[in-house]
Amino acid sequence: MLSHRTGISRHDMIWHKSNFTRAELFEKLKYLEPTQPLRQGFLYNNLMYAAVGHMINLIEGKPWETYVQEKILQPLDMKSTCFSIADMQKQQDYFVPYNERRDTTLLYQSKYAEDIKSAGPCGAVVSNINDLSHWLAAFMNKGMYNGKQVIPEAIVNATIEPSIAEHNDYLDQGYTEFLNPVYGMGRESISYRGHQMIMHGGDLNGIHSQISFMPQDSIGVIVFVIGNHSLSYNPISFNVYEHLLGMSITPWSERGLINRNASKKIGKEGRAKSLSGQIKNTKPSHPIADYLGDYSNIAYGNINIAMKDTQMLFSLNNVHLPLNHFHYDRFDTKNDEEEGYYSLNFRTSSQGDIESIAVGIDEGESIFIKKPDETLSTVETLTKFTGTYFAGTRPIKIVLKNKNHLFVEGEPDLELIPYKTNLFKTKEYADLLFEFVLENGIVKSVKQKDGTGEYEIKKGKE
Domains contained in the chain, CATH given: 288-370 (2.40.128.50), 374-459 (2.40.128)
Return d(Cα 93, Cα 74) in angstroms, integer. Answer: 21
Return d(Cα 302, Cα 289) in angstroms, integer. Answer: 18
Return d(Cα 42, Cα 286) in angstroms, integer. Answer: 44
**Phi and psi torsions of 316, nearest 5°:** -120, 105
Q: How far is CA 201 from CA 91, 215, 225, in A?
A: 24, 17, 11
User: Count of CB atoms within 10 A of residue 138's CB?
Assistant: 21
What is the torsional sign of CA 262, 268, 269, 271?
positive
Q: Where are the alpha helices (DSSP H) in 69-213?
A: 85-88, 129-140, 153-160, 169-172
My answer on whether omega of the bond before 412 falls inside 30° of 0, hence cis, is: yes
Backbone φ/ψ region at 228: left (φ over 0), alpha (ψ -120 to 50), beta: alpha
Q: Element (H or E) spanning 56, and its range?
A: helix 46-60
Kindly calculate the radius of gyration of the chain based on its CA atoms and give it in whole angstroms: 28
Return d(Cα 106, Cα 222) in angstroms, integer. Answer: 27
**Which pLDDT score, from 0 to 100, does residue 113 have?**
86
Whose CA is closest to 175, among 195, 192, 199?
Answer: 192
User: Count of CB atoms within 10 A of residue 97's CB?
Assistant: 19
Sheet with 164-165, strands from edge to edge, namely: 164-165, 178-183, 188-192, 195-204, 207-214, 219-226
Q: How far is CA 397 from CA 88, 406, 409, in A?
A: 60, 11, 6
**Which pLDDT score, from 0 to 100, does residue 114 have?**
82
**Per-residue pLDDT of the chain in tens (462 residues, 90 and over written 9):** 999 999 999 999 999 989 999 999 999 999 999 999 999 999 999 999 999 999 999 999 999 999 999 999 999 999 999 999 999 999 999 999 999 999 999 999 998 988 788 999 999 999 999 999 999 999 999 999 999 999 999 999 999 999 999 999 999 999 999 999 999 999 999 999 999 999 999 999 889 999 999 999 999 999 999 998 777 899 999 999 999 999 999 999 999 999 999 999 999 999 999 999 999 999 999 999 999 999 999 999 999 999 999 999 999 999 999 999 999 999 999 999 989 999 999 999 988 999 999 999 998 899 999 999 888 889 999 999 999 999 888 899 999 998 889 999 988 999 999 999 999 999 888 899 999 999 999 999 999 999 899 999 999 875
**Which pLDDT score, from 0 to 100, does residue 299 have?**
95
Return d(Cα 310, Cα 314) in angstroms, integer. Answer: 13
